Amino acid sequence: METITQPWPWYTAGIIIGLIVPALLILGNKHFGISANLRHACAVCLPSNIPFFKYDWRKETWNFFFVGGILVGGIISTLYLGSGEAVIVHPDLAQELASYGITDYSGMVPAQLFSFESLFTVRGLVMMVGGGFLVGFGARYAGGCTSGHAIMGLSDLQWPSLVATICFMIGGFIMANFILPFILHL
């Protein structure tokens, strides 16, 4: 099978997501989001005497299929759509990343940041373990993840989702411009 070397246009995902949101609402009165799946998985696995997990999680099993579809889609796109070629990075960005010691663009993410070898460095622990904890905590504290608030909540015209999305954007700006450069020098 011949691999496709050109990525799909950037707007393809926007169109698909834009169609999924009303389809979920109209067809099943369901809400788009990912972070609630952790609660559902814990409700399945943990004893039911914990009050936070006392609810009918079986009504939300469709969410497990949704996440499973994301995983399967990622595998399929990697196997059949991945070209195996290095990611093309703008020269100015490549120069900035090189100042942080990031030069390997042979995969979808830089190997110096996302690999088992880098996991056991200070930078890897801070970025992957610390970052993962903060994302999980933030999603729970905000009552949902970026996809739940920014995609579903804004399309429902929910004020809390607007506030959460603004905070996500401010946090992302601060992280990318002030905190990440500091972490990358570790």
95 pLDDT tier (thresholds 50, 70, 90)? very high
Q: Is residue 96 part of a domain?
A: no
Residue 127 has pLDDT above 50, yes or no: yes
Asked if residue 64 is part of any domain, the answer here is yes
Q: Considering the domain boundaries, does residue 61 fall inside one?
A: yes
pLDDT at 173: 94
Contact yes or no for 113/127 (Cβ under 8 A) = yes
Angle at the Cα of 115 (from 35 to 89), degrees rounded to 5?
90
Residue 72: inside a domain:
yes
Give domain status of residue 171, yes or no: yes
The letter for the amino acid at 160 is P
Q: In terms of C-beta density within 10 A (0-12 exposed, 13-18 middle, 19 or more buried), how is residue 89 classed?
A: middle
Q: Which residue do the tokens 């999924």 mark?
A: 20
Contact 30, 24 (CB under 8 A): yes
Choice between 96 and 10, residue whose per-residue pLDDT is larger: 96
Tell me if 94 is assigned to some domain: no
Range of the domain at 29: 11-89+104-184
Give the global pTM: 0.71
Give the model's confidence band at 106: pLDDT under 50 very low, under 70 low, under 90 confident, else very high: confident
Residue 67: partners with Cβ closer than 8 Å, 6 or more residues away: 34, 37
Confidence bin at 6 (pLDDT 50/70/90)? low
Is residue 5 domain-resident? no
Average pLDDT of the residues in 96-115: 83
> How many structural domains are present in the chain?
1
Treating both helix axes as pointing N-terminal to C-terminal, what angle do 36-45 and 61-76 enclose, rounded to 10 degrees? 120
CA distance 44 to 178: 40
Give me the half-sphere count of Cα atoms (radius 13 Å) on the Cβ side of residue 137. 6
Question: How far apart (Å, rounded) are the C-alpha atoms in residues 104 and 78?
Answer: 18
DSSP state of 101: T
pLDDT digits (tens, 9 = 90+) for 58-79: 888 888 888 899 899 888 877 7
Instruction: Using a pLDDT cut of 90, give the percent of the chain over it.
Output: 12
pLDDT in tens, 132-157: 888 888 888 888 888 888 888 888 88
| pLDDT recorded at residue 83 | 60
In a domain, 6, yes or no: no
From CA 19, how far away is CA 146, in angstroms rounded?
18
Q: What is the pLDDT of residue 4?
A: 47
8 Å CB contact between 25 and 153:
no
Q: Work out the mean pLDDT of the chain and round it to a whole number.
A: 83
Looking at residue 159, its pLDDT comes to 94
Q: Tell whether the model's pLDDT for residue 84 goes beyond 70.
A: no
